[in-house]
Structure formats: structure tokens, C-alpha cells
Amino acid sequence: MKKKILLEISVESVEAAAAAERGRADRIELCSNLSVGGLTPDPALIRAVRQQIQIPIFVMIRPRAGDFVYSAAEFAQMKKSIAEAKDSGASGLVFGILKPNRTVDIARTRELVERAQPLPGTFHRAFDACPDLTQALKDVVHSGASRILTSGGAATAPEGANKIAALVALASEHVTIVPGAGIKAGNILQLATATRAHEFHSGLSTMLPHPQTHYAKFENEVRGMVEKLSTIRPE
């Protein structure tokens, strides 16, 4: 059977998670503080979202905003957060650690992957801060992570489409490349065709209601992306 192309939506509230599910998203990435790229959500929020929706929940593990070079205390907090997320109903974990020279910290990332087991680990867009994305991909594969979230090193995934396509081809069956950043219903079909990726990530920050009470526009945009992806027949 051919694989369905999957859509993951990043959210920071129960209401947004429910709207993403109503829009037929395949998975959510649950964070706090999406305005700074997403931080670790409180376990109480993870449990509340788990009670509300049926689709998988991948939980962000990021102790602070800023760079991805972490102290010993911050690394210890990440390991603790993984345990709490697993206990709270997470379906997967999302993290990324770099060395001071902005290369992948393979050893520490591998330790987080092992802590996450049996749940899958996604290496997030810390990947895009690496100077050599081809080498970074090899390093992430060595860490044991299942997925890489990337814009191809560009500001948005559509801008980095050519590099993403090269990463998809290089990754083969070793790791799943998940394009993310700047993806919406108006460009997802073109991006899917250009990259041949099988999973996509979108935050839809411009679609979030203010105040966050009425999610019809957000839900409809998710549904629009799903409908566009449904027209593609994966190889």
C-alpha cells in the first residue's frame, strides 16, 4: 500500500489542537511559546490535549529560547521533560542539541533518543543552524533520531525547496525529512511536488485568532492543506 502524505501542525493550546484535528491533521507538535519557536509545554497541558484529541502528539523538548547549545543543567532538564512527556501521553518527542561550533551534538542527541524510546524522536530546526546540512543529516542519522524538521537552511521551506529535495534523496530510508516553515495551503502542493517529502509541518501562526477563541480560519487552512496533499499519489 502506498504511504499517505502526512501533515503535522504545531500548536500551543487545547483549542488549537482540537481545531487541527477537526481540520484532519495527522499529528500535532505541542509546544509552549510558539512566538519564540516553541518551548517545552507543561505536563498538565500535554494531559489536557491528550484527553481532547485522538491523533498523535509530538511534544517539544526545548528548555529555553535562543541557541541550541545547552548547559549540563539544561540538558538534565530536557531528560526530565522527556520522562514527564512520556508519562503525560506523548506519542513522540521533538528536540535538537548542537555543539558550540553549530554541528550536531551526536552523543547528547543519542541520549535523548534513547530516553524517548519506544517513542520516536524528531530533530527540530536546530538542524538549519548547522553550517553543512549534508553532514548534519549524517550526524542526526547516527544519533538514532527518526525525523528531521527543516526549511533546508532557508527562512522558509518554499525558499529552501531545492536543498530539501536533496536532503530527501540523501536521507533515503535512514531518516524522514519533514519540511517546515512558511507552509500553507497556497504553497504546499508545489512544495510537495518539488521535494518529494512524505511528511510536512506547518505552524499557521498568521491564522491563529486573536484573542484565541474562534478557530474556524485556522481549521479551514489545515483542511485546505490536507485536501491538497490528498491529490498526490506517493511513490
φ, ψ for residue 226, nearest 5 deg: -60, -45
Q: What is the CATH number of domain 19-227?
A: 3.20.20.380
Q: What is the pLDDT of residues 159-213, one digit of tens each?
A: 999 999 999 999 988 999 999 999 999 999 999 999 999 999 998 876 665 555 6
| Lowest mean per-residue pLDDT among 35-49, 77-91, 133-147, 212-226 | 212-226
**Residue 158: cis peptide before it, omega within 30 degrees of 0:** no
d(CA 151, CA 42): 27
Higher pLDDT, 229 or 205: 229
Average pLDDT over every residue of 131-137 = 97
Stretch 114-140: mean pLDDT, rounded?
97
Range 82-101 average pLDDT = 98
Residue 69, CA distances (Å) to 33, 42, 73, 116, 209 in order:
19, 22, 12, 20, 33
1 has a pLDDT exceeding 50: no
Q: Tell me what percent of the residues of the chain surpass a pLDDT of 70.
A: 95
- Judged against a pLDDT cut of 80, whether residue 46 lies above it is answered with yes
* C-alpha cell recorded at residue 223: 483542511
DSSP code string of 97-163: -B-TTSSB-HHHHHHHHHHHTTS-EEE-GGGGGSS-HHHHHHHHHHHT-SEEEE-TTSSSTTTTHHH
pLDDT in tens, 103-115: 999 999 999 999 9
Task: Read off the pLDDT of each residue in 205-231 and give the average, rounded to a whole number.
Answer: 82
Q: Which of 43-47, 119-123, 127-131, 216-220 has the lowest mean pLDDT?
A: 216-220
Domain ranges of the chain: 19-227
Asked whether the beta carbons of 15 and 35 are under 8 A apart, the reply is no
What nine digits make up the cell of 63? Answer: 528548555
Let me know: does 173 contact 141? Beta carbons within 8 Å.
no
Residues 81 and 63: beta-carbon distance below 8 Å: yes
- Neighbour tally for 83: CB within 10 Å: 12
